Amino acid sequence: MNSLIRAEVSAAALRDNLQRVRELAPSSRVMAVVKANAYGHGLVTTALCLADADAFAVARLQEALVLRGAGVRKPIVLLEGVFDPEQLAEAARHDLEVVVHGDEQLALLATAPAGSTFVVWLKIDTGMNRLGFRVEQVDSALVRLASLGPRIRELRLLSHFASADEPASCENDLQLARFNALSAGRSWTRSLCNSAGLFAMPEAQAEWVRPGLALYGVSPFPELLGSQLGLRPAMRLVSTVIAVRDVLAGEAVGYGGAWRAAADTRVAIVAAGYGDGLPRSLENGTPVLVNGARASLVGRVSMDMIAVNVTAIQGVQVGDPAILWGPELPVEQIAAHAGTIPYELLCSVSQRVPLAVR
């Protein structure tokens, strides 16, 4: 039985985007960021499509365990590290690389049973002020790590840009300068670039890059589309017209009568709502492609449905396809109509939307 709504994921697009990342950073290894269900694209299937990546990165232990359970043998980095002895033991058991970003995690590592060894990514706070050791704390963190002896199989350095999506921001150069100053003269393996950094700060690519959004074919820059960066959008969110009705001039549509017809209007009801992950904040006029033609959202998004003005499209009927976003309708533009960023739309695709990988 076909689902009314589905998210089609293109394996070829994912692979092409990985290739694009490699072209951009030919001297770096690629840690594919697949947290949050691979930004809505499906954790395991995405990792399998991106099997050529050099490593995977996730935010939560559970995500890493799902990947290991699915047979993913590549290195997996826990971007937020571990938080209790049980998680530490799981990380050791499954050979997960851990970020260490605070004193509590240093203390936790010291409790690791003899014989367990870790690749540790020491996280440096170069200006984001979220996670990581401040530059002036690094020396003492290194002393504590050195005291852990063979538990530390390899020590690497990582930081995160706060504003790489604003290439003109001088914060980026400041962060890079702090990071470089720390690692100068030492032979550490380092990682700094997310997707935006990859494009905007080529001088920061270092030994590892950590793209997420770019792998899904989407632009991290508000003023650009993925296609303009040589990327291919990997997801198409497509649903179905489940009713067509004629609304008379002056009549309102949907909850709260938030949209009222200025003239007689043909409205298609599409099976997609906030229960599927469409933000309720989508504004009137947001584009939707019905039978490939551009229509516009009218009225409020409800849990399971939206209404779309199809007056200008001939012959729309129940069963016709309606694309909410995809290669033909950039998710970056839809996000702008909801006052949000494409990351949020992709991650919000809900569990009841089946993923179809092609």
Ligand X SMILES: Cc1ncc(COP(=O)(O)O)c(C=O)c1O
Residues near ligand X, by CB under 6 A: 33, 79, 160, 194-196, 210-214, 220
Q: In terms of CB distance, is 196 or 305 closer to ligand X? A: 196
Active site residue 255: yes
* CB neighbour list of residue 170: distance below 8 Å, 6 or more residues apart: none
CA distance 99 to 33: 14
Tell me which residue of 17, 39, 43 sits closest to 30, measured CA to CA: 17
Q: In terms of CB distance, is 131 or 269 closer to ligand X? A: 131
Say which DSSP state 154 is in: E
Active site residue 123: no
CA distance 288 to 208: 38
Neighbouring-strand partners of residue 315: none
Q: In terms of CB distance, is 123 or 266 closer to ligand X? A: 123
Residue with tokens 């995160």: 160
CA distance 216 to 15: 9
Q: Among residues 74, 255, 274, 343, which one is catalytic?
A: 255
Bin 118: left if φ > 0, else alpha if -120 < ψ < 50, else beta.
beta
Question: Smallest distance, Å, CB 265 to ligand X?
Answer: 39
Question: Smallest distance, Å, CB 211 to ligand X?
Answer: 5
CA distance 149 to 137: 20
- Contact (Cβ atoms closer than 8 angstroms) between residue 226 and residue 332: yes
Q: What angle do CA 69, 72, 78 make, to 5 degrees?
A: 85
Q: In terms of CB distance, is 118 or 199 closer to ligand X? A: 199
Q: In this structure, which amino acid lies at residue 121?
A: W
Q: Determine the residue with CB nearest ligand X.
A: 212
Question: Smallest distance, Å, CB 319 to ligand X?
Answer: 36
Q: In terms of CB distance, is 209 or 308 closer to ligand X? A: 209
CA distance 191 to 160: 8
Q: In this structure, which amino acid lies at residue 195?
A: S
Question: Measuring CA to CA, how many Å separate 197 from each of 88, 155, 267, 326, 339?
Answer: 30, 23, 43, 24, 23
Q: In terms of CB distance, is 220 or 327 closer to ligand X? A: 220
Neighbouring-strand partners of residue 127: none
Known catalytic residues are 35, 255
